[in-house]
Amino acid sequence: MTAVHGTSFEGGGGRREGVAAVHGTSFEGGGGRREGVAAVHGTSFEGGGGRREGMTRVGRVERTTKETSVVVEINLDGTGQVDVSTGVGFYDHMLDQLGRHGLFDLTVKTDGDLHIDTHHTIEDTSLALGAAFKQALGDKRGIVRFANASVPLDESLAQVTVDLSGRPFLVHTEPEGIAPMIGTYDTTMTRHILESFVAQAQIALHVHVPYGRNAHHIVECQFKALARALRYASEIDPRQTGIPSTKGAL
Ligand SMILES: [Mn+2]
């Protein structure tokens, strides 16, 4: 063990290398975080026989009404590959942020009644996304569950805290006087997107923008922080062998 520790700490010295060394052989020649995490997963999941082995955390939802037709696919353990098309340019940009910064693989295809306005298209997409996210989480075995992320975008700041609790609740605050439109995106829809997502994903979500000036920045930092918080909360904790609730279910 001494030798292993010695090797790992050379050139590194951080906590992660220390943790990696204790776990052992997989870290030879690596020392980076990814190698560490990969090895821990490999070790923990081998021979366990649990859900994690070969686990795919994927959700797919199709939702068709007289107003919209939506198809959403999400892989929680992706790499941020995104293919999004809703017909609302700024909303596509936001969903792109969600996938890329959440490291979710995300496909969204929405054909909505844009001849009326963007409301149904945006809302129904968010409902389907929430449902797909919940589906992908499955029984939530082994997840981190709680997470927060704070993301600035120039002068704007978003603070997002999430509990993948099984109970829908949204708390949302934004600065007063945000410009009403960003392209064809109505900025009052941001709260409606979050409400819709929360209702279907069944999570507690607190999103605060304590300050910001530019409407584009104010909305975008919320989606970036949401992406990060959802990513951290949905990640598999290698030390968490069960469902992270004293109730035994989430
Ligand atoms: Mn609505």
User: What are 11-30's pLDDT values in tens digits?
Assistant: 333 444 433 333 333 333 33
0.75 exceeded by the pTM? yes
Q: Are 85 and 73 in contact (CB under 8 A)?
A: no
Distance 33 CA to ligand 1 centre (A): 43
Number of H helices, E strands in the chain: 7, 10
38 and 100 in a common domain:
no
188 and 80 in a common domain:
yes
pLDDT for position 56: 85
Q: Residue 244: name the closest of 159, 149, 166, 128 by CA.
A: 166
Distance 149 CA to ligand 1 centre (A): 27
Q: Residue 182: name the closest of 151, 152, 222, 150 by CA.
A: 222
Residue 205 lies in a domain: yes
Distance 120 CA to ligand 1 centre (A): 7
pLDDT at 66 over 50: yes
Choose the weakest-confidence range: 21-30, 113-122, 233-242: 21-30
107 and 7 in a common domain:
no
Number of structural domains (the chain) is: 2
158 and 37 in a common domain:
no
Q: Which has more confidence, 35 or 61?
A: 61
Residue 249 lies in a domain: no
Neighbours of 43 (CB within 10 A): 15
Residue 32 lies in a domain: yes
Q: Residues for the chain: how many in total?
A: 250
- Alpha helical stretches, state H, 46-103: 89-102
pLDDT at 37 over 80: no
* Average pLDDT score over residue span 107-116: 98
Distance 192 CA to ligand 1 centre (A): 7
pLDDT for position 44: 33
104 and 174 in a common domain:
yes
Distance 247 CA to ligand 1 centre (A): 34
Half-sphere exposure of 161 (CA within 13 A, CB side): 6
* Average pLDDT score over residue span 212-237: 98
Distance 14 CA to ligand 1 centre (A): 49
What is the extent of the structural domain holding 169? 58-234
Q: Which residues of 11-28 are buried (b: 16+ CB within 10 A; e: fewer)?
A: eeeeebbeebbebeebbe
116 and 24 in a common domain:
no
Q: Measure the CA–CA gap between 202 and 124, rounded to whole angstroms.
A: 16
Residue 225 lies in a domain: yes
Residue 50 lies in a domain: no
Distance 71 CA to ligand 1 centre (A): 18
List, for residues 163-209, the tens digit of each pLDDT value: 999 999 999 999 999 999 999 999 999 999 999 999 999 999 999 99
pLDDT for position 123: 98
Distance 74 CA to ligand 1 centre (A): 23
pLDDT for position 50: 36
198 and 126 in a common domain:
yes
For the chain, how far is it from start to end, CA to CA, in angstroms?
39
174 and 105 in a common domain:
yes
Residue 174 lies in a domain: yes
**What is the CATH number for 144?**
3.30.230.40
78 and 40 in a common domain:
no
Distance 228 CA to ligand 1 centre (A): 26
Distance 123 CA to ligand 1 centre (A): 6
Distance 130 CA to ligand 1 centre (A): 15
Listed residues: CB within 5 A of ion ligand 1: 123
111 and 205 in a common domain:
yes
pLDDT for position 53: 54
β-bridge partners, 143: 236
- In the three-class reduction of DSSP (H, G, I as helix; E, B as strand; rest coil), residue 74 is classed as strand
63 and 21 in a common domain:
no
pLDDT for position 54: 60
Q: Measure the CA–CA gap between 39 and 31, rounded to whole angstroms.
A: 11
Distance 6 CA to ligand 1 centre (A): 59
**Average predicted confidence (pLDDT) for the chain:** 84
Q: Measure the CA–CA gap between 177 and 180, rounded to whole angstroms.
A: 8
Distance 119 CA to ligand 1 centre (A): 6
* Average pLDDT score over residue span 2-15: 39
Residue 201 lies in a domain: yes
Residue 239 lies in a domain: no
96 and 13 in a common domain:
no
Distance 200 CA to ligand 1 centre (A): 14
